[in-house]
Amino acid sequence: MKHLATIAWMAWGLLATTADAAPVATASSPDGLTKIAIDFDPDGRINYSISRKDQPLIAPSRLGLLLTDGYALVRDFELVGQQTAEGDDRWEQPWGERHYVRDHYRELLTNFRQQSTGRLLSVRFRLFDQGVGFRYEVPSQAGLATLHIADEVTEFDIARPGTAWWQPGGESNRYEYLYNKTPIDGVATAHTPMTMRLDDGTHLAVHEAALVDYASMWLKREQGQKFRAMLSPSSQGPKVSRALPFASPWRTIRIADNAAGLVENDLELNLNEPNKLGDVSWVKPFKYIGIWWEMFLGKSTWASGPQHGATTANARHYIDFAARHGFDHLLIEGWNKGWDGQWWGFGKHVSLTEAYPDFDLKAVIDYGRQKGVQLIGHHETGGNVAHYESQLDAAMALYGKLGVSAIKTGYVADAGGLYAPGDQPGAVRMEWHDGQFMSRHHILVLEAAARYHIAINTHEPIKDTGLRRTYPNWVSREGARGMEYNASTYWQNPPSHEPTLVFTRMLAGPMDYTPGILSLQGLHGDPLPSTLARQLALYVALYSPIQMAADVPEQLAKYPRELDFIRQVPVDWEDSKLIDGAVGEYAVLARKDRHSADWYIGGITDDHKRNVALTFDFLDPAKTYRATIYRDGDDADFKTDTRHHIVIETRRVKRGDQMMIRMAPGGGMALRLHPSR
């Protein structure tokens, strides 16, 4: 029997090898340099491969879906149709790293039929000069109403050796790990974006776009450099259940000749649907301070009691400071009744509409209004999403009525530890932060918030896949280790963390990193792994349309010149460029203000000092600029008391000038370039 099967397989293989000679479908990017080819293996499994400049990037890799209740959509396929299309469009972002985005692609839609079952499966490929996206489309078909997906077999076989920067997928701390740097064949299971630099300098990042009503994709290394899409789990049998017809999220591969091409890349945004919310002029970028870092310093508590941080009196004190220093928003955490007790799972006691007795919500909002300072609302769920959903509309309505226009949400819980509504009243089931249930939940929150013209900043989120294009009120999120880790030397992010984020987490979208700890001090005076100039640089290097000045007011007040920079630095950009950098080592970004002719530069380095040559090629050649430079003092070093040494100076510059700036170990630089009269 076995022998017969082997012979049959060999015969099949011979036939298929002959048939294999030519792919069944091909397409290329608008510049003609990136090509894909679609093929079948001897068992009728669909393979795709990608090359750029005739060099292989993705070796033949499988496509298909495993089901929980039927024969997998993996083998035995034939191609029953293909169509091509092209697009070249320009669309406007309501806010962002750049004002206008070009969406220029060639498309190939391939329609397959599984011969043994008659089932239909399509794969749509879109090729851009900046990378490739593809997604599954499952059309309506007789006898199949809902698809129950156990997992994907989608593979990414990286064809050439290189280095990868990645975070572990499926571990308890969600996305809050330091990035690993390993050879590509040293990756285990990774979250996306996963960034790779091939040995010839080509940069790749595998990620996804438009993660809607579906489980997130992790990348599980099968062997060598071959990865398989592994979907985030669900407490239900299938990881994803979808009524037909439906389309999966796009699986994306950014492809760039260098680091700048990886960063200045709108692949995922272009693969998301346009704005669904209509007029979103009510979504406005802003800067804020918060009753927040003082909790990390142990000065006050989120919970009620003698050290409660969220009191009416403290809120007034912060509002006065915000008004004096030009901040128009204030975050207050811990005012909701029920915060006392454990963080994990505490959410079932929290009331998002009732305050502790020492906090008068309306009085705080009224006081803020007189001073031109808006409250940022807070919805911490403690991971109890079922409880949150039960009060979602009332909680949004309360803030809506009071004129609050932004809310920070939070899902503090271990991975797999979210409470979702169960099938029976009162029952719960446990879910993951990045599973199908949460991808639906976040859209529910965005839609509820949009009804009250409220923007959302999600902490402990699902990863960003460019949905801000469709829901422009999803202004920011966490989704990586932020500044809060620097509050204690026990947890701190090493200086290489932020220059790694620029090329990994930040490819996904804005991050609420919360810079601006000008004291460079955490709990018990623990020194931060940063120089003072670097705190300013972070406002430019790590993009978010909402940026915090995170230190406590009495510390911020001690640094008036630096505070001035924070007040001036824009949060909404006309254009953004990576002008120098190497993944995980350093990054220098230049951004042009959307509302003036000013440019800003922010540079950050790891624990090595670096001299960077700025050439200002991006400036308007017809103008001369006055540069205000915030750079590390010559002896500055994040490891010693010199971390506060900063030089602030002004110079005239124009396009083509050269300026060498030294960044200290753990340091950075920030520049404001303002056209001189």
**Which positions are catalytic?**
484
Restricted to residues 466-495, the positions that interact with ligand NOJ (CB under 6 A) are 478, 484
Smallest distance from ligand NOJ to CB 538, Å = 16
Which amino acid is it at 325? H
Report in angstroms how near the CB of residue 193 gets to ligand NOJ at its nearest: 20
Cα separation, 414 vs 110, in Å, equals 40
Q: Can you tell me the distance from the alpha carbon of 189 to that of 220, in angstroms, rounded to the nearest whole number?
A: 4
Q: To the nearest whole angstrom, how small is the minimum distance from the Cβ of residue 20 to ligand NOJ?
A: 51
Residue number with CB closer to ligand NOJ (526 or 575): 526
**Beta partners for 384?**
419
Cβ proximity to ligand NOJ, 268 vs 333, nearer residue: 333
580 near 604, Cβ under 8 Å? no
Using the minimum distance from each CB to ligand NOJ, give the nearer residue, 464 or 484.
484
Largest CA-CA distance found in the chain, in angstroms, rounded: 88
Distance of closest approach, residue 670 Cβ to ligand NOJ, in angstroms? 24
Coil/strand/helix, residue 155: strand
- Give long-range contacts, CB 8 A cutoff, 24+ apart: 51-56: 52/202, 52/255, 55/159, 55/160, 55/200, 55/202, 56/159, 56/160
Going by C-alpha positions, the residue among 651, 653, 652 that lies closest to residue 619 is 653
* Closer to ligand NOJ by Cβ: residue 385 or 583: 385
CB 613 within 8 Å of CB 653: no
Among all residues, whose Cβ is closest to ligand NOJ? 410
Nearer to ligand NOJ (CB atom), residue 441 or residue 631: 441
Residues with Cβ within 8 Å of residue 556, at least 6 apart in sequence:
289, 321, 325, 516, 518, 549, 563
Of 378-417, binders to ligand NOJ (CB under 6 A) are 380, 410, 412
Smallest distance, ligand NOJ to C-beta of residue 459, A: 4
Residue 248's beta-bridge partner residues? none
Residue among 208 and 380 whose Cβ is closer to ligand NOJ = 380
Query: How many Cβ atoms sit within 10 Å of the Cβ of residue 552?
Result: 23
Which tokens go with 462?
């699902």
List binders of ligand NOJ among 281-320 (CB under 6 A). 292
Please, what is the minimum distance in Å from the beta carbon of residue 380 to ligand NOJ? 4
- Residue 380 or 572 with smaller CB distance to ligand NOJ: 380
Shortest separation between residue 433's beta carbon and ligand NOJ, angstroms: 13
424 CB-near residues (< 8 Å, 6+ apart) = none
Q: How far is the CB of 333 from ligand NOJ (least distance, A)?
A: 5
CA 204/CA 52 separation, integer angstroms? 11
Give the nearer residue to ligand NOJ in terms of CB position, either 338 or 410.
410
Binding mask 441-460 for ligand NOJ (x = CB under 6 A): ------------------x-
Residue burial 492-515, b: 16+ Cβ < 10 Å; e: rest:
bbebbbbbbbbbbbbbbbbbbbbb
Cα–Cα distance between 62 and 156 in angstroms, integer? 8
Residues near ligand NOJ (CB under 6 A), total: 8
Q: Give the nearest distance from C-beta 410 to ligand NOJ in angstroms.
A: 4
CB 269, min distance to ligand NOJ, A: 25
- Residue 176 in the binding site for ligand NOJ (CB under 6 A): no
Contact 381, 333 (CB under 8 A): no
Decide whether 412 or 636 has the Cβ nearer to ligand NOJ.
412
* Cβ nearer to ligand NOJ, comparing 133 with 410: 410
Of 383, 296, 385, the closest CA to residue 333 belongs to 296
Minimum distance from CB of 567 to ligand NOJ (Å)? Answer: 22
Binding-residue pattern over the window 146 to 175 for ligand NOJ, x denoting contact by CB under 6 A: ------------------------------
Q: What tokens appear for 287 in the block?
A: 């800067």
Q: How far apart are the first and last CA of the chain?
A: 88
Burial 344-353 (b: 16+ CB within 10 A, else e): ebbbbbbebe
Among 152, 333, 593, 598, binds ligand NOJ (CB under 6 A): 333
**Beta-strand runs (E) in 338-397:** 374-380
Q: Which is nearer to ligand NOJ, 65 or 487 (CB)?
A: 487
> What is the H or E stretch that residue 249 is in?
none
The DSSP H or E segment spanning 344 is none
Six-digit token pair at 216?
Answer: 């997130």
User: Residue for token digits 């705080």?
Assistant: 364
Closest separation between CB of residue 303 and ligand NOJ, Å?
A: 11
> Two tokens at 536?
């300013």
**For residue 653, what is the enclosing H or E element?**
strand 646-653
Return the exposure string of 380-396: e unless at least 16 CB atoms fall within 10 Å of the residue's CB, then b. bbbbbbbbbbebbeebb
Q: Which is nearer to ligand NOJ, 238 or 479 (CB)?
A: 479
Rounded to a whole number of angstroms, the minimum distance from the CB of residue 288 to ligand NOJ is 12
Backbone φ/ψ region at 426: left (φ over 0), alpha (ψ -120 to 50), beta: left
Give whichever of 383 and 495 is closer to ligand NOJ, judged by the CB atom.
383
Assess contact for 557 and 321: CB atoms under 8 A: yes
Helix 385-402 with 436-451: angle, nearest 10 deg: 20
Q: Which amino acid is at 285?
A: P
Interface residues with ligand NOJ (CB under 6 A) are 292, 333, 380, 410, 412, 459, 478, 484
